Structure 1
């Protein structure tokens, strides 16, 4: 009688030294990014009193990601991924130092904020696919879905600490959170540099048009992956109201920077609790249906948030929104990683990062633009209804994704047999 495999526990996951350092680096980087979002959002709205200006910040971050997508995927597949992260996080630390000094000296103008945000967007365009593609090389394959859930918990833990810390530190002046962000990005850079991956950097081959577009083609040929990442794209693009939180905090809920920090951390509270639950209780059945249900709940929470006039009720609703969002993140991330061979992970992750960036940063621009047209509350309601509509339409367009049962290297390809030859 054969022995059953040992259960995958938090101890077994974090006994992998490089994964543990990767996890802490992600916390530092995400805390810094979330603190930056709070500081930039409040400072920009204080300078301009314009929801359109808030949307422009999202656009400034998105455009570099759009323009660099094909390059970043090739870079992640051709160069050492830990070095890419190290360089990006060092550059982000430098941008934070510039913002801190400019704020301290009273030189900061909205144009300067947009420039710094664009620089961070360019760094994250490279950092995103290299981070996603780096993870499978740090952990045994059978641990990957659980490791992704723990990685999501790191992201959500940071998303709890970051906004609250950013709001509190901003009360001491804009210079303080920017300086703290610089220190955190620098710490993440050192941790990233210490990682040891099982992946060897492949030999350099000529860059061709075929290789540049191979990530896009790979996703287009696999309906489950295409459906999962496009669902996230359109649902969050329409339903994301993150860009409007400074306006909600200041003009509707009548709070200060601390209130904005609470609103930004609320989705992460729900997401963290859900990601920890999923790390201990992985999704073993009806993964596709659960993902679609989560997107519908996300849309309903967005509509509910629009009508709240209590900061505590708003936080509770945003917590539900965050919990629903992380279910979609874990399903999508596991599906993409398990159905993509290592040699293609950088290019596929770059396209995936573009979809995520489009939904987040371009979604902020869309929210700011529609709010300037229709008002803050109507724009949020329209977005939430749009997310629900997208989920219902996608259930019909991608029946294979709706019927997806499990998230494992052994069973995921069975849903789409044509992908079996490329599954790692």
Structure 2
């Protein structure tokens, strides 16, 4: 219900003044903590089981490549359809169902680890299920956020959402690493509890305004319509593919397990620290933007941020010192968050609401290609060159991507503000954004 305060009387309220957005943040944070705690331990168990089974570090890195591939393939196949699901069906319901499936995965892995029945086959099977779940979860949650606040404060809301995301990435790996050191099944147990909290938070979100799908009525036509928009919009296409190539090539995070186990020799505790370091840098950057939103020269700054990401990745690859490695990874996370903040703001503000689910699915597909696909590529490269050299080569590739994309997509280096084109300069009425009081 409306509180009687209008924008013209007292100005725009902050994102946290909306209950729907607060509940969304809780759900996003708890889901990310549980998800990243699970992902770290799945990677660690895969690598250690392979090493303990007699594989050398090259062959064990190949198992990490397989884990990444098994998570990426479902995303690759299903993402076009999952975007349509996010646009055609209630995004809250889709989000709630996908978090429930993640809960089931956590319970399964907790039981298998506790009973000592965990093996590579089970880890690979759960990786496939998580890939399917994330294919539908990502577009639904991403498309939901812009409907919860007025357009003018969307960049602030994106920054806060990114804080929840990155803080989850900090807490998740640290929680997973330290909890695993106490009891191997504990990370999965804690993840299950966090997923339950996320489900409850999503349930409290009230009615969410949205725009109906326009244009082609057949599902395949609607999918094609969404992808056509991505391809034809040079801003959206350039921003999405810049992240795709840079992170795909410079996938240092995929190789934390061999670095912790063989190169730096820091064990589970060091693994947690390595995984948390880039997320700390990312969270600090997101927190800064939540108070000091970026307003000028957004395109050039995004390109410079990706370049810094590549340089820091190269430093991490060369390092054999834990403090230097942590510092390099802090910069990796800060630079990545800088570019994520700009990219997500540009994509959301340059996309009509009725296409946001499908555009988010295209974005998710590239993110998955860069993350899970990048994990597979980095693992494969490490199985040939070794983990350290694979990271260094990836960092060089990220720098080459920046140079190339600044020429292929001049709109990126020429974009100065987040302002959307005039035809998208519409907002949902303030009354429709009021939350349901629980």
TM-score normalised per structure 2: 0.91
Deviates more, 1:210-219 or 1:287-296: 210-219
Q: Relative to structure 1, is the Cα distance of residues 145 and 393 closer, same or farther in structure 2, using a 3 angstrom cutoff?
A: same
Give the equivalent residue in structure 1 for 2:35.
33
Cα offset, 1:202, TM superposition: 4.2
Cα offset, 1:375, TM superposition: 1.0
Match of 1:327 among 338, 343, 349: 338
Give the equivalent residue in structure 2 for 1:353.
364
Give the equivalent residue in structure 1 for 2:25.
23
Give the equivalent residue in structure 2 for 1:235.
246
Secondary structure of the structure 1 residue equivalent to 2:294: coil
Give the equivalent residue in structure 2 for 1:412.
420
Please state if 1:309 is matched with 2:320: yes
- Give the Cα separation in 2 of the matches to 1:6 and 1:276: 25
CA-atom RMSD, angstroms?
1.7
CA contact (8 A) 1:86 1:189 kept: yes
Cα offset, 1:195, TM superposition: 1.1
CA contact (8 A) 2:87 2:356 kept: yes
Give the equivalent residue in structure 2 for 1:129.
139
Match of 2:195 among 185, 188, 208: 185
Q: Relative to structure 1, is the Cα distance of residues 343 and 306 closer, same or farther in structure 2, using a 3 angstrom cutoff?
A: same
What do residues 226-267 of structure 1 show as CA deviations (whole Å, max 9, x unaligned)? 000000000000011111100001101111111100000000
Give the equivalent residue in structure 2 for 1:282.
293
Secondary structure of the structure 2 residue equivalent to 1:405: coil
Secondary structure of the structure 2 residue equivalent to 1:64: helix
Cα offset, 1:5, TM superposition: 8.3
Give the equivalent residue in structure 2 for 1:175.
185
Paired residues for 1:38-53 under 5 Å: 38-49=40-51, 50-53=60-63
Cα offset, 1:412, TM superposition: 3.2
CA contact (8 A) 2:87 2:213 kept: no
Cα offset, 1:206, TM superposition: 4.7
Cα offset, 1:7, TM superposition: 6.7
Paired residues for 1:225-264 under 5 Å: 225-264=236-275
Which runs of no fewer than 5 residues in structure 1 stay unpaired?
414-419
Secondary structure of the structure 1 residue equivalent to 2:198: helix
- Give the Cα separation in 2 of the matches to 1:321 and 1:92: 28
CA contact (8 A) 1:285 1:405 kept: yes
Paired residues for 1:48-87 under 5 Å: 48-49=50-51, 50-87=60-97
Q: Relative to structure 1, is the Cα distance of residues 203 and 289 closer, same or farther in structure 2, using a 3 angstrom cutoff?
A: closer
CA contact (8 A) 2:78 2:132 kept: yes
Give the equivalent residue in structure 2 for 1:116.
126
Give the equivalent residue in structure 1 for 2:4.
none
Cα offset, 1:171, TM superposition: 0.8
Please state if 1:378 is matched with 2:389: yes
- Give the Cα separation in 2 of the matches to 1:203 and 1:344: 7
What do residues 159-212 of structure 1 show as CA deviations (whole Å, max 9, x unaligned)? 111111111100123211111111111111111122124325848985343212
- Give the Cα separation in 2 of the matches to 1:6 and 1:386: 49
